[in-house]
Amino acid sequence: MDTAIIDPDRLCELTCELGEGDTLDVLSMFLDEASATIDGISGALDDGAYDKATHFVRSGALNLGLSGLARQAAMAAREVDGDGRDAAGEALRWTLQETRLVIGERKARLDGSAVA
């Protein structure tokens, strides 16, 4: 598992609490919501809405063990101008995509073990 993207300890805690399948479902739902929020980050949000959006992504990612996305959202929160925010949105989109790949690989392994 890519520990730059996922916090394995937190993911283990969630899996113990919810089970593997439900954990992956929760992660997928969050990533969908985060994707919609990230789309707005590059837009013309006022400062308050921008702060709220980056906070949502960062705090949700931290709670779910998505450490790479949380770090990127924390960096995005420090951007104050339009160009910086556009770049932050692009970096968040890239990190979100990488996170989806890692979660997708984990889900594929689970689906494969259920068939075997």
State both tokens at 63.
């709670």
Condensed to tens digits (0 to 9), the pLDDT of residues 13-59 reads 999 999 999 999 999 999 999 999 998 887 778 889 999 999 999 99
pLDDT in tens, 87-109: 899 999 999 999 999 999 988 88
pLDDT value at residue 32: 96
Question: Long-range contacts of range 87-94, CB-CB < 8 Å, 24 or more positions apart?
Answer: 88/41, 88/42, 88/54, 89/38, 89/39, 89/41, 89/42, 90/42, 92/38, 92/41, 92/57, 93/35, 93/38
Is there a domain that residue 30 lies in?
yes
Domain membership of residue 91 as a residue range: 8-105
pTM: 0.88
Look at residue 3 and tell me if it is in a domain: no
Confidence class of residue 116 from pLDDT cuts 50, 70 and 90? very low
Instruction: Measure the CA–CA gap between 107 and 75, rounded to whole angstroms.
Output: 29
Domain count, the chain: 1
